[in-house]
Structure 1
Amino acid sequence: MVCSATIKNQSEVSNMEYPHLFTPGRIGPVTVKNRLVMTAMCVGLAHHDGAVSDALAAYYEERAAGGVGLMITECTRVNETDAVAYPSMLSMSHDRYIEPLRKAAERVHAHGAKLFMQLYHPGRQNVVLFPTIWRFNERMARIFPSYWDWYFKMAGRFDASMIDDPKTAKRMEKYMKPLLAPSDVPCGLGDNPVRHQKTVPMTIPQIKTLIGQFIAAAGRVKKAGADGVELHAAHGYLLQQFLSPYTNRREDDYGGSLENRMRLLKEIIEGVKAECGPDFPISVRLSVEEFYDTIGYPGQGILLEEGVEMAKRLERFGVDALNISSGNYDTAQTSCEPISFPPGWRKYLAKAVKEQVRIPVIAANLIRTPEQAEAQLNEGTQDFIAMGRSYLSDPEWAKKAMEGRSGEINRCICCLRCMESFQENIMNGKPVECAVNPRACRESKFPRTAPKDGWQRPVVVVGAGPAGLTAANELAARDFKVTVLEQGGAPGGQLILAAAPPLKEKMDWFIQYLTHQALQQGVDIRYNTRAAKEVIESFRPYAVFLATGAEAAAPRIPGSDSDTVTTVTPILTGERTYAGKEVAVIGSGMTGLETAELLMGQGNTVTIIEMADQIAPGAYPINASDVIGRLEKGGVRFLPGRRLERIGDGMLYLRRKDGVLEEIRADATVLAIGVRSNSALEKECTGHFERLYSIGDAVTPGRIGNATRSAFMRARGLQ
């Protein structure tokens, strides 16, 4: 079929390596300079009252300057009552939000990019606390100008996991209004982060009011000078809840048949068209498959066949583009994938829609390289390439591809630190974090170009892991003369171990990026070099950065010195292997789970023992359940609530919470109970160098993002 996003003569294209990717396309009356779309991502940078802040405008502008053709803002609420989902969330519910959006649009337009605003309502995918507390906060902020500072200080004590506690949910029900939804079907399946929240079916007057709120919000977006709107009918939010037969069990004009389930969206589209006119495009983000079969509910929700029919009807309703996606909070892995999912895994969804409609199809298909993007355009999978996390990790993704520098792209590794940090920071006013880009969402605080004030003064960095190389690259960008001393024969540090388990090869991408940047900037990396005080002194360094990492912890448990006991490190490096053995893994953090999967794949019978009452305590649920699902299919046994007391004679002795002592057989035992900082070199060097800094795991063992952020901050702040 002919699409309105017509490809022009290739002679007009600036980059012949990716001729389709950098060809202009049209969405309704709007011409987009290339086929690259930045999808909506909530980053927590909006002003407390819902306006576009300078920090958020800077975030958008940097990505517009980086070459994106079309940018879609994060989800934006349409009212100040039941649509409030978290603090620092965009709003377009009042005219006061027009001017801040206008300023942001001007900054985006200055770089030749277009800007759509995504309008939404969370429906059941919310917490009853948030809409209620928002109304209180708004009133208090009007009375006390410093109220927000106090609020975020207090809210920092809030643990987001509390909302998953049924007792807490019951207490909130007593004082808070229930969430509006099509039907009384609260969240409660899979890894849904907002389970146990009370819902209530919307009345017809409430539905009519909501339609008016969407229409009014779209009108304000147009007045602000933005180029279009996107209606968020994906990922399980309210508009999708009306579309889905799983969440919509109404028996009136807004439920039952597909025609009725689409009525709300249809009336919003008609109203926006009437309010904004035909020259203001509407995109709909649509989950065409909810994947309930992946969590044990086959045949439930929106299936692809019906999703395609929805797309066809939306075209008839007059929308100008379809942004195809999948999943909801119940099936969250299928809308924001963890690291194990292969690039392009769901492109068949977009292709199924593209074959049936004439309007442009936008789709995010876990695209990570320009080559993959160009291939999917050539295949006819879609008309526009949508990415979200890729622009978080590298704002210049588009520019680098256009200039033939794809090897310099800092690819998203799908670790989901962005999602995890959003939930961690949701109540304390802090923005999202990216594991591989420590500047992400801090663009207004840290300019992209570092000051050239190093004047070739020598700096020694010990360790070529993520912290060491991040610091080295930042220091080199500042014109310091950087030497990295690495005791091993290759870069990567803990990332080498992180990339070893099955389906973790994306971790290698970050190692490749850091090494490429270091070599390009002239960093001198010396492998197989053990750093000691005397070695470091020979460089007469202006500053020394110690990124000596961490090592696996080995507890003092009777029998732990046996030859049959090891930490995870020899397993992940391949130094020690087992096959056909009964292996016990002690500890069910992500390292323990992933090591168990590696052992399972080598033909061992694996048991995971965890002292806590649940498996994977402290791990991000989507990442944990991704691995646990494969372990369960492979027959791995889980024993939570047990403390290892003794190892001996091919047996493990475990103490249960009720005091009972259990015995299980184990030919080998692998300890995955955390790591401890390597601080020996710091002790040796303290007092001998004026500027001595430990960074990364050498300070506090943690995730990749903790290491890169501490390294960046220290390197950027060196005086």
Structure 2
Amino acid sequence: MAYEMLLSPIKIGNMQLKNRVVMAPMLIGMGDFDGKPTEQLMNYYVERAKGGTALIITEITRVNDFHGAAAFAQLSMSKDSHIEPMRKFADRIHEAGGKLAVQLHHPGRQNLGLCIGTIPLLIPFQNIKCVKKLIFKVVPKVGPKLLEKHWCPKVYAPSVTERAKFADSKMRAFSHKQIVNLEKDFIDAAERLQKAGVDAVELHASHGYLIQQFLSPYTNRRTDEYGGSLENRMRFLLNIVKGIKERCPGYPVLVRLTVDECYSYIGKPGVGYDLKEGVEMAKRLEAAGVDAIDVSSASYDTFNYWLEPTSFPVGWRKYMAAEVKKNVKIPVLAANLIRTPEQAEQQLKEGTQDLISLGRPHIADPYFVNKCASGHPEDIHRCICCLYCIQSMEEQAFHGSHTLCSLNPYLGHEGEMDKITEKVGNGRLVVIVGAGVAGLMCAEVLLRRGFNVTIVEKEAVAGGQLNLADKGPGKDKIAWATEDLMTSVTKLGVNIKFNTEATVEMLKEMNPYAVVIATGGVAIKPKSIKGIDNNNVCTSTEILSGAVKLENKQVVVAGSGMTGLETSEYLCKDGNHVTVVEGKNQIAPGMWFQHVDDAMQKLSKYDTRFVTGKMLVEINEKSVVVEDTKTKNRSEIPCDNVVISLGVRSDNKLYKDAKDMFERIYVIGDADKTGRIASATKEAFETALKIK
């Protein structure tokens, strides 16, 4: 049998699992103020259980409403009134063939001050739609400003320390009495879970949250029995474990444990704790009766070393899990940036770990396990690590909505799958122009709905802009998006005409029921820049595609968006000396901070120069002229070549020419409005559902 170990049973304590695949806990934002599981949230998790996953571990679940709420829409087990709703949730997971564990959590210093004391005030209004709507109309406008100005309550932590990255909140230290009460909150919550029929509890001692803050000498500077030595720093966690074991005999307890805070990776060796001490923690947890160690790493300060951007190699941190497994006898589960069943099986056979924890891959494809078990792993839509799930979670939280996925627009619609995939097409023809990610996604949804789909693509291959996005250093995973969509639409029976330029006349001859224009975008080369057409000027498209090759040159890159930074790294690797010119006052304005951190860390290895607040106005043979956006003063930068990376503009001429020729015609993706993969697939999905 293929994937023999992956699909083999295993036990955690007295909990029997049918295979070794675990859904890792991830905040999804489908809850309500009170923390009871909503229908949408249950549908989301149940779909993953139906997809064959043995153990579902929920998102962060608070144990204290006042200072322990990390989001407006998360689960809670802070009150006895949560038991029956949680029982319904557990029953549904069991009916779908899975087991359920709930992860108990407190954010500590990594919380947002906006959440302190807010949840108890909001709970009475959660079922009053007009009030709830008003709340989420006000919060996006007021919330960010309050956080920026630090006009929010202080968050609670073991000690007052430097502010955590991303959260950036002022803090206050827990009193001894508050710590003892919080230990009881965790133990009480675990007992409620057992009463609700939940199969296991996981304690979140990772990613920089409260329990890890107690474990780390960097964030725990207490002088009482909760600080100082490792024994003291582990006291909070071990007291909770002991309390659960005494109150809930035989109940499986997992601990998600950061075994290395990874400060050495950001140039801060000696800060926090390293793998050696992390392994010792795992050994002491085993001795305390913990039933499994869920190995992870890092914190908000070292964000990219537990929630990796695209450029990180798969399996890069498996050495951490392997070291823990060498030192404990209880089961070890770990995520380890696993993206394929082949990789999962290999790591099990190597003895790296006992169970495979998949987080983002479960967002991208709920049916990962079933596709393996049925002998069709090629049907898996692989996560490309684009981080849009975490970015959208943070953005949507202020709007009362949930996480989104670049590759899975069905996310959040799990309860509507029968309606979405209803065969309403009756074989009617829909012609899609363009085989980029928007065109392919639209085709997939339409094919599932029973339409006959033909894609007309002017190039020899599918992919569109992604054929450039995957050319940057370490960006090969981006190609998976095209590969997996092509596999899907091919199996569903799409007809693709490659090397074919669509015209209005051609479309009319095909006599389609509907037309979808997904012709993408083209690189911007502003004519306002003097010398833009000089021989020493090209676009990032030409660099990444290999059409232009530059080596050992002085190069100015105009634009510091992600494409500009990736192009800069690409150029640096070829021995070029790069100066990045950006009109805004910061590098990569508007880009998600993890991508920026990743790119800047890589570029720091080279002598890359950054010039911000200046616009490129003139290109000469051996220099460029830039203008300060405030003072309008001009200066010159010597260079041999200039690479323009100022984004793309919509290529929508065909749509403009054809829009009055067809009753049903739509434009999607970059052809409509330039943006990210997620915006293209979302629009493609919504457009496909409009065609009936």
TM-score, normalised by the number of residues in structure 1:
0.94
Distance in 2 (alpha carbons) for counterparts of 1:314 and 1:717? 54
Q: Does residue 633 of the first structure (1) align with residue 605 of the second (2)?
A: yes
Q: Which residue, 118, 122, 126 being the options, matches 1:137?
A: 122
For residues 399 and 375 of structure 1, do their structure 2 counterparts lie closer, same or farther at Cα, with a shift above 3 Å needed? same
Deviation of residue 649 (structure 1)?
3.4
How far is the alpha carbon of 1:299 from its aligned partner? 1.0
2:390 to 419, 431, 436: 419
State how far apart, in whole Å, the 1-side matches of 2:624 and 2:143 are: 35
Pairing 1:208–2:192 present: no
1:29 aligns to 2:1 (yes or no)? no
Aligned counterpart for 2:627 among listed residues 640, 646, 655:
655
Of residues 677, 680, 683, the one that matches 1:710 is 683
With 308-317 and 594-603 compared, the bigger mean Cα shift is at 594-603
Tell me, yes or no, if structure 1 residue 522 matches structure 2 residue 498: no
Q: Could you tell me which residue of structure 2 aligns to residue 624 of structure 1?
A: 596
Q: Corresponding residue for 1:608?
A: 580
Residue 659 of structure 2 is matched in structure 1 by 686
Following the alignment from structure 1 to structure 2, what is the Cα–Cα distance between the partners of residues 354 and 630?
Answer: 32
SS in 2 for 1:544: strand
The one of 295, 298, 314 aligned to 1:324: 295
Partner of 1:100: 85
Deviates more, 1:434-443 or 1:246-255: 434-443
- Look up the match of 2:425: 454
SS at match of 2:108: coil
For residues 25-61 of structure 1, what are the alpha-carbon distances to aligned partners after superposition, in whole Å with 9 as ceiling and x for unaligned? 0000010110000010001011232110000000000
Contact 1:587 1:611 (C-alpha < 8 Å) held by counterparts: yes
Between 576-585 and 29-38, the greater mean CA deviation after superposition:
576-585
* 2:441 pairs with one of 470, 489, 506: 470
Q: What is the rounded CA distance, in whole Å, between the counterparts of 1:145 and 1:429 in structure 2?
A: 12
Counterpart amino acid of 2:414? Answer: E
Separation (CA, whole Å) in 1 of partners of 2:126 and 2:387: 33
1:154 to 138, 145, 153: 138
2:85 paired with 1:112 = no
* In 1, Cα distance between equivalents of 2:126 and 2:98: 35
> Is the 2:255–2:294 Cα contact (8 Å) retained in structure 1?
yes
Tell me the secondary structure at the aligned position of residue 87 of structure 2: helix
1:716 to partner: Cα distance: 2.1
Q: Which is further off, 550-559 or 455-464?
A: 550-559
Q: Alpha-carbon deviation of 1:487?
A: 0.3
1:269 aligns with 2:234: no
The answer as to 2:64 corresponding to 1:64 is: no
1:344 aligns with 2:329: no
Shift of 1:576: 1.3
The amino acid across from 1:112 in the alignment is G
* Residue in 2 that maps onto 1:11: none
Deviates more, 1:488-497 or 1:671-680: 671-680
CA deviation string 1:232-287 (max 9, x = no partner): 00000000000001101111100000000000001111111122222x10000000
Amino acid in structure 1 at the alignment position of 2:573: G
1:14-93 mapped onto 2 (5 Å cutoff): 16-93=1-78
Query: How many angstroms does 1:596 deviate by?
Result: 0.8
3-state SS, counterpart of residue 642 of structure 2: strand
Residues 163, 194 of structure 1: 8 Å contact kept: no
User: CA contact under 8 A between 2:536 and 2:621: conserved in structure 1?
Assistant: no
Q: Secondary structure at the match of 1:535?
A: helix
1:187 paired residue among 144, 158, 163: 163
Residue-by-residue CA offset, 1:106-142 (whole Å, 9 max, x unaligned): 1110122100000010000011122233343335558
Letter in 2 for 1:548: T
Residue 590 in structure 1 maps to residue 562 in structure 2? yes
Alignment check: 8 A CA contact 1:482 1:524 kept? yes
Pair 1:428-2:428 in alignment: no
Partner residue of 1:376 out of 341, 344, 347: 347
Letter in 1 for 2:217: P
Whether contact under 8 Å (2:114, 2:143) holds in the other structure is no
Query: Structure 1 residues 53, 139: CA separation in 2 closer, same or farther (over 3 Å shift)?
Result: closer
User: 1:79-105 deviations in whole A, cap 9, x for unaligned?
Assistant: 110001111111111122222211111
Q: Which structure 2 residues correspond to residues 471-550 of structure 1 after superposition, within 5 A?
A: 471-550=442-521
Matched position secondary structure for 1:232: strand
Cα offset, 1:699, TM superposition: 1.1
**Residue from 375, 378, 394 that aligns with 1:407:** 378
Task: Give, in whole Å, the separation in 1 of the partners of 2:147 and 2:545.
Answer: 37
Cα deviations by residue, 1:305-327 (Å, 9 ceiling, x for unpaired): 00000000000111111100000
d(CA) in 2 for partners of 1:443, 1:319: 34
Secondary structure in 1 matching 2:117:
helix
2:666 counterpart SS class: strand
The answer to whether the aligner puts 1:240 opposite 2:212 as a matched pair is: yes
Following the alignment from structure 1 to structure 2, what is the Cα–Cα distance between the partners of residues 328 and 368?
Answer: 22
| Contact 1:164/1:193 (<8 A) preserved | no
Partner SS for 1:331 = helix
Cα–Cα, structure 1 residues 163 and 568, in superposed 2: closer, same or farther, change >3 Å?
Answer: farther
Residue 573 (structure 1) aligns with: 545
- Between the aligned partners of 1:522 and 1:449, the Cα distance in structure 2 is 19
Distance in 2 (CA, whole Å) between partners of 1:466 and 1:163 is 38
- Report the aligned-residue RMSD: 1.4
Which amino acid is 1:178 matched to? K
Structure 2 partner of 1:177 = 153
Match for residue 6 of structure 1? none
Tell me if the contact between 1:187 and 1:330 (Cα under 8 Å) persists in the aligned partners: no
More displaced, 115-124 or 655-664? 655-664
For 2:414 and 2:238, the matched residues in 1 are separated by 39
Whether the 8 Å contact between 1:48 and 1:87 is mirrored in structure 2 is: yes
| Structure 1 residue aligned with 2:650 | 677
Structure 2: state its 5+ residue gaps.
Answer: none
**Alignment-mate amino acid for residue 662 of structure 1:** S
Tell me the secondary structure at the aligned position of residue 444 of structure 1: helix
> Is 1:284 aligned to residue 255 of structure 2?
yes
Pick one of 246, 255, 259 that aligns with 2:231: 259
Q: Which ranges of structure 1 fall in alignment gaps of 5 or more residues?
A: 1-15
For the residues of structure 2 that align with 1:89 and 1:685, how far apart are their CA atoms? 47
Flag the 1:448–1:667 CA change in 2: closer, same or farther, 3 A.
farther
8 Å contact 2:116–2:154 — kept in the other structure?
no
The letter for the 1-side match of 2:87 is: R
Give distance in 2, aligned partners of 1:257 and 1:475: 61
Q: What is the DSSP-based 3-state SS (H/G/I as helix, E as strand, rest coil) of the residue aligned with 1:117?
A: strand
CA distance in 1 between partners of 2:82 and 2:523 (Å): 51
**Alpha-carbon distance between aligned partners in 2 of 1:445 and 1:554, rounded to the nearest angstrom:** 44
Aligned counterparts of 1:665 and 1:634: Cα–Cα separation in 2: 18
**What SS does structure 2 have at the residue aligned with 1:116?**
strand
Taking structure 1 as reference, are residues 623 and 164 closer, same or farther at Cα in structure 2, changes over 3 Å only?
Answer: farther
Aligned partners of 2:310 and 2:475 also within 8 Å: yes
Shift of 1:163: 6.8
| 1:179 to partner: Cα distance | 1.2
d(CA) in 2 for partners of 1:213 and 1:344? 36
Residues 550 and 141 of structure 1, relative CA distance in 2, 3 Å threshold: same
Rounded Cα–Cα distance in structure 1 between residues aligned with 2:371 and 2:45: 17
- Is it true that 1:442 corresponds to 2:421 in the alignment? no
Q: Indicate which of 223, 240, 264 corresponds to 2:195.
A: 223
Does the CA contact (< 8 Å) of 1:158 and 1:427 recur in 2? no
Count of residues in correspondence between the two structures: 690
**What secondary structure is seen at the aligned counterpart in 2 of 1:715?**
helix
**Residue 444 of structure 1: CA displacement?**
2.4
- Conservation of the 8 A alpha-carbon contact between 1:43 and 1:441: no
- 2:118 and 2:525 mapped to 1: Cα distance? 46
